[in-house]
Structure 1
């Protein structure tokens, strides 16, 4: 049984969620062209759909979904390395997909880094497909059947 839950983030979660993103991306900090993944989490909470996974007061992961006219983009997602392989990433992605579908999106897109091979394999395993590349950016998409 999972001992964590997922809920919508509130403004007071910004610092803890930012710290979680920092821990999750720390092993990738050396990658060239990695965008600033911890910048603007408070703004994301205020302006987009942000969820976090938590156990008690500990933030274990988070995801940011940006909804636009006819589009849905997974802007950011993380799982704390200490909580990896507990289904948190998969659960956050299912939630993102369900929310995007509820908004009428036919697909969800994301951008990842070319050198984050394990991450790309994870997305591939869950039905995402690569749609293009530009430098170190890898663009992916997952269709959302109605």
Structure 2
């Protein structure tokens, strides 16, 4: 798992949420949006994980290629878990802060404010985006492997 890259991505999303909160102080995000998006992530996570764990590499005879694919799948699985955990932490944060989080008004720093539901919504959106990209890339990898194996099988039969 590329932990540093994932953490940087979330740091960017949090900073983006703070910038939006500060520039658009009247923007309100209903907590229900974050809950709805978390429900989407909650469905997407096991589906994406199922695609990864159901990859059958039995027919891949090249051990180096099989090892590399397994390492890639392990990284994707770990990334999915990390992103789902981040979405969970975001949603839990809303419930731990009284009144659904609300907005932390400008303080000593000046005009900076933090709209907690907005930041959490962006965090969950990032998780969903990552899960979508992971799902589609894993499905494409699966199809490419199957096509390549079928092509090799046809060539082998043609030679016989």
Query: TM-score by structure 2 length?
Result: 0.25
Query: TM-score by structure 1 length?
Result: 0.27
- Report the structure, 1 or 2, having the larger strand content: 1
- Higher alpha-carbon Rg: 2
Bigger relative contact order, structure 1 or 2 (CA pairs below 8 A, ≥6 apart): 2
